[in-house]
Amino acid sequence: MNLVHETVSFVQLFPEAVICGTIMAAVCSAFGVFVVLKRIVFISIALSEAATCGLALALVFHASPLACSALVAGAVVFLLALPEKRHHLPKDVVLGTVFLLASSASVLLVAQSGFGLEEIKAMLYGDLIVSGPRDRWVLLLTGVPALAMLLLFLRPVLYAFLDREAALVMGIRCWVWEGLFFFLLGLVVSGASKSGGALLVFCLLVVVPATALLLARRLWTAIGLAAAIGVLTTWAGLLAAYRADLPANPTIIGLACLLFGAVGAGRWLFRR
C-alpha cells in the first residue's frame, strides 16, 4: 500500500520525468536493437558524447541545446557515413578519437565558461527528475517520428544490415537506408541527451536492447521487448531513486545492468 501511495505521489510530483523517461526509454531501446545487431556499440557512445559536446557548446554560447547537439551529432554521422577505404585504419580508431575529443571538449568548454563541476556532471549523467515540458516536446518531436520512420522502413534497413551484398544485388540502395538509420540515430541521441545524459542514453542504446535480444527470437519481438524493458526499468529506477533519495539516472543504469546480468546468467543456466 505504501509503495502504491509513493508511486502515485511520485507521478504527481514529477510527471514530466515519467513522461520524458518513458519516451526516451522506448525510443532509444528500440533503436538500440539495431545498434547491438549491427555491432556499432562504439558508434552510439561516440554519438552520445558528441551530442553532449553540443550541449556544452549551447551552454557556453547560450544557444539552443537541441540545435547544437544535433549539429555536432550530425557532423559525426556525416563522418561515419563517408566510405571506408581499404588498408586504412579501422573505423574504431576514428570513433575512439571522436569519443575522446567530444568528451574532453565538453569538459573544457564548460570549464572555460565559468560554470562549475555540477554542470559537467549534469551533462554527463543528466537528470530525468528535472525534465520539463520543453524536454518532453523535444523528445516527442525527435524521438517519436524517428522511431516511426525506422519501423516504417524496417524491411530495407534490416536487409541492408543483415546481408549488404545480397541486398544491393536485389536493388536495395543500402547507402540510403544506412544513411537514414544513422541520421535518425543522431536525431534520437541529440534529443535524448539533455534529459538523459550521455551515460543513460548509451545504456538505453546498448544494455537494454542486449537484454531483449537475449530473450527474443524474432526481430519485432526484440524491438517491442526492448522498448518495454527500457520503459519498465526507467520507471523502476525513477521510483527507487525517489524512495532512496538517489540520483535518478545512475539508478536506472544500475538497474538495467543488473537486469542484463540476471538475464544473461539465467540464459546460461538454462542452456546448461
Partner 1 sequence: MSDRPVIACRGVTVAYGRDVVLDRIDLTVPRGTLLPFVGPNGAGKTTLLKACLGLIPHQAGEIRCDFGSRPPAYVPQQKQLDPIYPVSVEDLVRMGLYPELGWWRRPDEAQRVRAAHVIERFGLAPHSRKQFGELSGGLRQKTLLARAVVSQAEVLVLDEPTAGLDAASEADLLALIRTLNADGGKTVLWVHHRMDQCAALARQVCRVDKRGVRVTDAAEVRP
Q: Which residues here bind partner 1, judged by CB under 8 A?
A: 36-37, 39, 86-87, 152-153, 155-156, 158-159, 161-163, 165-172, 213, 216-219, 221-222
- Closest separation between CB of residue 170 and partner 1, Å? 5
**Sign of dihedral through CA atoms 211, 52, 191, 128?**
positive
Minimum gap (Å) between residue 226 Cβ and partner 1: 11
CB 260, min distance to partner 1, A: 15
Q: At 38, phi and psi to the nearest 5?
A: -80, 0
CA distance 137 to 76: 24
Q: For residues 59 and 2, what is the distance between their CA atoms, to the nearest angstrom? A: 41
Nearer Cβ to partner 1 (39/62)? 39
- What SS3 class is residue 85? coil
Q: What is the DSSP string of 86-110?
A: TTS--HHHHHHHHHHHHHHHHHHHH
Residue among 5 and 272 whose Cβ is closer to partner 1: 272
**How many angstroms separate the Cα of 154 from the Cα of each of 151, 159, 161, 178, 270?**
5, 9, 10, 11, 31
Distance from C-alpha of 115 to C-alpha of 172, rounded to nearest angstrom: 49
59 vs 213, beta carbon nearer partner 1: 213
**Cell, residue 200:** 543513460
Contact 238, 18 (CB under 8 A): yes
Taking the complex as a whole, how short is the minimal distance between the CB of residue 203 and partner 1, in angstroms? 20
Q: Which residues of 111-135 are buried (b: 16+ CB within 10 A; e: fewer)?
A: eeeebeeebbebbbbbbbbebeeeb
d(CA 129, CA 17) in angstroms, rounded, equals: 5
Closer of 98 and 229 to partner 1 (Cβ): 229
Closer to partner 1 by Cβ: residue 114 or 171? 171
Residue 88 C-beta: closest distance to partner 1, Å: 11
The nearer residue to partner 1, 40 or 120, going by C-beta atoms, is: 40
Work out how close the CB of 133 gets to partner 1 at its nearest, in angstroms, rounded to a whole number: 35
| For partner 1, the closer CB: 71 or 150 | 150
Minimum CB separation of residue 209 from partner 1 in Å reads 11
Record the cell numbers describing residue 103, joined without a space.
568528451
C-alpha cell at 1: 500500500
Which of residues 134 and 155 has its CB atom nearest to partner 1 in the complex?
155
Rounded least distance, CB 231 to partner 1, Å: 20
